Amino acid sequence: MKRRNVLAGLSAGVLAGCSKIGATKPMQKLFGAADGWHREMQRTLGGPEALAREFSPADISPFFRGNGTLDPGTASYAAHEASGFADWQLGVTGLVARPLALSLAQVRALPQRTQITRHDCVEGWSAIGQWTGPQLKTILDLAGLRPEARYIVFRCADNLGDGDYYESIDLVDAYHPQTIVAHQLNGAPLPIKNGAPLRMRIERQLGYKHAKFVTGIDAVASLQGIAGGKGGYWEDRGYQWYAGI
Ligand SMILES: Nc1nc2c(c(=O)[nH]1)N[C@H]1C(S)=C(S)[C@@H](COP(=O)(O)O)O[C@H]1N2
Ligand SMILES: [Mo]
């Protein structure tokens, strides 16, 4: 039906079980996964579904700066850039029933969400931008999260010299309605500096959680054993894992 058309390119088998596996099992785990004072406080005050503030088009910053990696600078990324990211793939792996490799066309064909939000960087700047992309939960439901999954890890195309950039969130943020895999900023394809062709928006957390140049989404039971084990490139270097605003 309509959903089939939208998801053309994904097999019927991929679609069949998604609502069952994806929607129920992970939701049962949401509260068991919560630990840490900051996370508890924010969620007690706002509730797990509380939305980050959304703004109007008039509020959009005239310039949305880039921060951190502005271009991954690898031969592979340069080749993707030259071909307009036609062969970019978003892998969905780990504790999922149906691993996926989504093309950008498939990501764009999923139901989309557009939101105008403020990005806050710990370095002391903010900017308001309009982001468009599918909700992460749509993709997780397609892949069918397994009940053992507790965290979602984002793999990125940039290496900072002493490690690849990566990030992670728990299932509360993964299923939050404003958590999207963005491919557009202010109605245009993502600029390179802002994470082309795909970057996360995790709207209730600080800027470093919003992984850019995303190549993979990995469902895991534990963050131990991944890079430094703290759940993110900056977390491994001392930043808070839960960076609620
Ligand atoms: N892959 C990757 N993602 C990243 C970073 C990075 O260096 N590499 N920097 C983070 C930081 S600290 C911020 S503030 C935002 C900046 O997003 P922007 O470049 O769109 O402003 O991206 C985050 N995501
Ligand atoms: Mo940042």
pLDDT tens digit sequence for 35-50 = 466 776 666 667 777 9
Tell me the C-alpha distance between 83 and 86, whole Å.
6
CA dist list (Å): 89 to 107, 138, 155, 167? 10, 17, 12, 18
Report the atom number in ligand 1 closest to the C-alpha of 121.
14
Percent of the chain scored above 70 by pLDDT? 82
Report the atom number in ligand 1 closest to the C-alpha of 157.
1
In a domain, 32, yes or no: yes
Beta strand 180-182 with 151-159: parallel, antiparallel or unpaired?
unpaired
- Helix (H), strand (E) at residue 168: strand 164-170
In a domain, 93, yes or no: yes
Task: Please count the structural domains in the chain.
Answer: 1
Tell me the C-alpha distance between 142 and 217, whole Å.
13
pLDDT surpasses 70 at 165: yes
In a domain, 212, yes or no: yes
pLDDT surpasses 60 at 204: yes
Residues with CB under 6 A from ligand 1: 65-69, 121, 156, 158, 165, 193-195, 207-208, 210-213
pLDDT tens-digit map of 168-181: 999 999 999 999 99
Residue 20 three-state SS = helix
Task: Kindly identify the ligand whose nearest atom is closest to the C-alpha of 127.
Answer: 1
Beta carbons within 8 Å of 24's beta carbon, 6+ residues apart: none
Q: Token digits for 13?
A: 């088998």
In a domain, 38, yes or no: yes
pLDDT surpasses 60 at 69: yes
pLDDT tens-digit map of 219-245: 999 999 999 999 999 999 999 999 999
What is the pLDDT at residue 49? 78
Q: What angle do CA 95, 139, 228 make, to 5 degrees?
A: 50
Mean per-residue pLDDT over the chain, rounded: 88
pLDDT tens-digit map of 113-156: 999 999 999 999 999 999 999 999 999 999 999 999 999 999 99
Amino acid identity at 156:
C
What is the pLDDT at residue 48? 74
Question: Are the CB atoms for 217 and 243 separated by under 8 Å?
Answer: no
Mean pLDDT of 63-78: 98
Who wins on pLDDT, 30 or 96?
A: 96
Question: Are the CB atoms for 93 and 156 separated by under 8 Å?
Answer: no
The model's confidence at residue 1, banded by pLDDT at 50, 70 and 90, is very low
Q: Which residues pair with 71 in a beta bridge?
A: none
Structural domain range at position 206? 2-237
Q: Token digits for 1?
A: 């039906």
Query: Nearest C-alpha to atom 21 of ligand 1 is from which residue?
Result: 66
Task: Kindly identify the ligand whose nearest atom is closest to the C-alpha of 119.
Answer: 1
Question: Are the CB atoms for 85 and 197 separated by under 8 Å?
Answer: yes
Q: Which of 13-17, 156-160, 189-193, 212-216 has the lowest mean pLDDT?
A: 13-17
pLDDT surpasses 50 at 3: no
Length of the chain: 245
Who wins on pLDDT, 49 or 65?
A: 65
User: Which residue has tokens 């630990």?
Assistant: 35
Task: Kindly identify the ligand whose nearest atom is closest to the C-alpha of 232.
Answer: 1
Who wins on pLDDT, 6 or 204?
A: 204
In a domain, 242, yes or no: no
What is the pLDDT at residue 27? 42
The domain that holds 205 is classified in CATH as: 3.90.420.10
The model's confidence at residue 18, banded by pLDDT at 50, 70 and 90, is very low
**What pTM was computed for the model?**
0.87
pLDDT surpasses 70 at 98: yes
